[in-house]
């Protein structure tokens, strides 16, 4: 048991039918339909292998894309092929989830056999339940079609999908409500790494927050500054720009228009409130880079600019690197600028290299941040790389993760049996 959740060590899976929920949601190459990255598949392998090795009949459920990211809402057939390749053993696949064909295939599984069902998000109940207008209670999720059909075929449920732990859905919460349930190896590992950053970091603890998802950065900032988990927050990207507006700097028409068009203006007031309370612990850009046909650096006192802000400047980078080097814990989410473009790569490149080389323990998460680390070839040197994005942000913002709660309820049920 870890953090109130049963682990693989708490069950004997020999000969049992296990419903294993993994998160192998992966970027897809739109031109070829092939997997563009198999990081999440690789991270799920130890649990899959462990279960198959002890002779469990392993039925894997997973999602790919969603209805807002329709281009990626595709079949899991390529995932099954990649799993088989990486595991070096057959992985069955069926283009069904809980219809009669899937049920028959599950019933026919032999000990040690692996089967991947198709994309659970082909089912309306799996997607609609986590969209704001329909939110089912755990009891209602336990009565969904997927749970009613699959749970009776299995002895237990293992959740390996920490990256989707923020989703109220049948395959994540519903199954844990009705079956003996445990967290898989990756689930427990990732939850533990983030729990340390949130509740028990070594100090000084520095949060490096950038990117364009301002709502995420602000909700994390409020929480970790409030609890004292973070000693210092280094702001960059659009988050840093909103901080500059809150400090009273005019950024110039193109940047302010972009912030307005993205609906981010309300964050300026929030930034002001945060600066009023925690001003000495929030570092803001001292200089910026603008796109003037080439990279041009300006101190914040030289603003506003007629050119778009695209990165932090070198004085800011030097100041942030100093804080990173002094930190015992470094949490990273959101690049410093548009790192895909040469004109604005410098901030993220230098910060990410500094984080990789820093003596402190680093934890990095979120699609863009991890992709940037891969691009700068520093991924291997990060302390811990999370597979989760949205789930990680919600957890660090102090929100309850429904799948964690469901697994804890399952552990309590088990204890009273």
Q: Which residues bind ligand 3PG (CB under 6 A)?
A: 23, 25, 66, 163-164, 167, 388-390
Residue 231 vs 368, nearer CB to ligand 3PG? 368
Q: Which is nearer to ligand 3PG, 37 or 314 (CB)?
A: 37
Nearest distance from residue 65's CB to ligand 3PG, in Å?
7
Are the C-beta atoms of 96 and 118 separated by less than 8 Å? yes
The total of other beta-carbon atoms located within 10 Å of residue 305's CB is 19
Residue of this chain nearest to ligand 3PG (CB atom): 25
Q: How far is the CB of 264 from ligand 3PG (least distance, A)?
A: 21
- The CA-atom distances, in angstroms, between 288 and each of 48, 262, 348, 359 are 47, 20, 13, 27
Backbone angles phi, psi at 275, to 5 degrees: -65, -35
- Report in angstroms how near the CB of residue 406 gets to ligand 3PG at its nearest: 16
What is the smallest separation between the CB atom of 183 and ligand 3PG, expressed in angstroms?
A: 16
Minimum CB distance to ligand 3PG smaller for 60 or for 323: 60
For residues 77 and 202, give the distance between their C-alpha atoms in angstroms, rounded to a whole number. Answer: 43
Closer Cβ to ligand 3PG, 25 or 348, answer by number = 25
User: Helix crossing, 367-375 with 346-357: angle to 10°?
Assistant: 80
Q: Which helix (H) or strand (E) holds 226?
A: helix 214-227
3-state secondary structure 227-285: HCCCCEEEECHHHHHHHHHHCCCCCCHHHHHHHHHCCCCHHHHHHHHHHHHHHHHEECC
Instruction: Choose between 329 and 397: whose C-beta lies nearer to ligand 3PG.
Output: 397
**Greatest extent of the chain over all pairs of C-alpha atoms, in Å:** 71
Q: How far is the CB of 275 from ligand 3PG (least distance, A)?
A: 30
The residue among 163 and 232 lying less far from ligand 3PG, judged by its C-beta, is: 163
Residues in the chain: 417
Q: How far is the CB of 305 from ligand 3PG (least distance, A)?
A: 35
């Amino acid at each position: 048991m870890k953090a109130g959740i049963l682990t693989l060590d708490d069950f004997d899976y020999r000969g049992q039918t296990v419903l294993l929920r993994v998160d192998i949601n992966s970027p897809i190459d739109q031109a070829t339909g092939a997997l563009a990255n198999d990081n999440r598949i690789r991270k799920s392998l130890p649990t899959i292998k462990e279960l198959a090795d002890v002779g469990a009949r392993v039925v894997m459920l997973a999602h790919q894309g969603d209805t807002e990211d329709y281009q990626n809402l595709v079949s899991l057939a390529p995932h099954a092929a990649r799993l088989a390749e990486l595991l070096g053993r057959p992985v069955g696949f069926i283009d069904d989830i809980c219809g009669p064909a899937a049920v028959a295939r599950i019933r026919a599984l032999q000990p040690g056999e692996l089967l991947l069902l198709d994309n659970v998000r082909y089912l309306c109940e799996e997607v609609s339940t986590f969209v704001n207008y329909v939110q089912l209670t755990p009891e209602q999720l336990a009565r969904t079609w997927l749970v009613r059909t699959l749970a009776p075929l299995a002895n237990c449920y293992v959740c390996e999908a920490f990256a989707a732990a923020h989703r109220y859905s049948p395959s994540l919460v519903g199954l844990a409500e009705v079956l003996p349930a445990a967290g898989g190896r990756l689930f427990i590992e990732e939850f533990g790494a983030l729990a340390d950053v949130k509740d028990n970091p070594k100090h000084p603890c520095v949060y490096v927050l950038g990117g364009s998802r301002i709502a995420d950065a602000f909700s994390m900032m409020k929480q970790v500054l409030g609890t004292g988990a973070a000693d210092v927050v280094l702001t960059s990207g659009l988050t840093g720009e909103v901080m500059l507006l809150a400090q009273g700097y005019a950024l110039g028409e193109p940047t302010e228009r972009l912030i307005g068009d993205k609906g981010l203006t309300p964050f300026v007031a929030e930034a002001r409130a945060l600066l009023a309370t925690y001003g000495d612990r929030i570092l803001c850009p001292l200089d910026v880079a603008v796109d003037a046909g080439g990279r041009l650096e300006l101190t914040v006192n030289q603003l506003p600019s007629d050119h778009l802000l695209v990165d932090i400047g070198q004085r800011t980078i030097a100041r942030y690197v100093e804080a990173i080097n002094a930190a015992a814990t470094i949490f990273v989410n959101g690049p410093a600028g548009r790192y895909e473009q040469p004109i604005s790569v410098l901030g993220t490149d230098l910060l990410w290299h500094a984080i990789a080389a820093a003596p402190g323990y680093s934890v990095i998460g979120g699609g863009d941040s991890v992709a940037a680390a891969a691009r700068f070839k520093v991924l291997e040197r990060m302390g811990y790389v999370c597979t989760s994005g949205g789930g990680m942000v919600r957890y660090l913002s102090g929100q309850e993760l429904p799948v964690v709660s469901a697994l804890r309820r399952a552990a309590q049920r088990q204890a009273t049996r």
